[in-house]
Structure 1
């Protein structure tokens, strides 16, 4: 049973599922990531009509920071985009092009989910 314990092993050797090169973010880098993700959320919301819920989550894994932005359309399946920026990207900031690319991709995927759920059964209201 001791071999299944994540704390088992020789001193100084990382336990199961852990690496010794875990990335620690500075408060400034974490703030930069929060601002970047908030920008992606607001840009995604600007591309979509009302009724689409957009949210985000930040976490830190053994490989570094992980950000996820998700859209839940009024009907259809939710879509999400996750990314792990490098610490260099956090120091310089994510570019506007990168933020726009993620936001447009999420908005397009969410719109596609609605179109797929509705299908061809809808009569267009206008031409």
Structure 2
């Protein structure tokens, strides 16, 4: 019964739980550069929304299901937040991640990081005025 599941693998070719190499999408060199540029733009845009105390970083890696992009923010206090996503490989080479999506991810990360600080501080800050 296990031999007919997609997770059993091909004997001698693909290990159990692994995807066949033909199933994993590959990026062209131009798509990879564009993806790295798009992810860097998201990180830069996120930095614009936040003070310098927040650390923002990005990464592009080959995952099990193909290329994966990650942008992460470490607030000065509280838990880090991140956005993982798989790029649209059918898009035009100059727009692997659409501009609207890049802006939305940057705003969402900045808001989530600010919320982490607010939740970590809670009532530990004395208001300067009433």
With the length of structure 1 as denominator, give the TM-score of the two structures: 0.85
Q: Which has the higher mean CA deviation after the structures are superposed, 97-106 or 117-126?
A: 117-126
| Alpha-carbon distance between aligned partners in 2 of 1:48 and 1:125, rounded to the nearest angstrom | 22
Equivalents in 2 of 1:95, 1:25: separation in Å? 17
Q: 1:126 to 1:101 in 2, by over 3 A?
A: farther
Deviations 1:53-85 (A, max 9, x none): 000111112322100100000000000000001
Q: Which runs of 4+ in 1 moved over 3 A?
A: none
In structure 2, the CA distance between the partners of 1:26 and 1:115, relative to structure 1 (3 Å rule), is same
| Residues in 2 aligned to 1:100 and 1:85: alpha-carbon distance in whole angstroms | 15
State the TM-score, normalizing by the size of structure 2.
0.83
1:88-110: CA deviations, max 9, x gaps?
23625022211110000000000
Q: Work out whether 1:111 is the aligned partner of 2:114.
A: yes
List alignment gaps of at least 5 residues for structure 2.
1-8
In the comparison of the two structures, how many residue pairs are matched? 120
In the other structure, the counterpart of 1:124 is 127
- What's the C-alpha RMSD, in Å, of the aligned pairs? 2.1
Q: How big is each residue's C-alpha offset from its partner over 1:30-74, in whole Å with a ceiling of 9 and x where there is no partner?
A: 001001000000000000011000001111123221001000000
2:34 paired residue number: 32
Q: 1:126 to 1:29 in 2, by over 3 A?
A: farther
* SS of the residue 2:23 aligns to: coil
Q: Give the aligned partner of residue 79 of structure 1.
A: 81
Q: 9, 12, 15: which one pairs with 2:11? A: 9
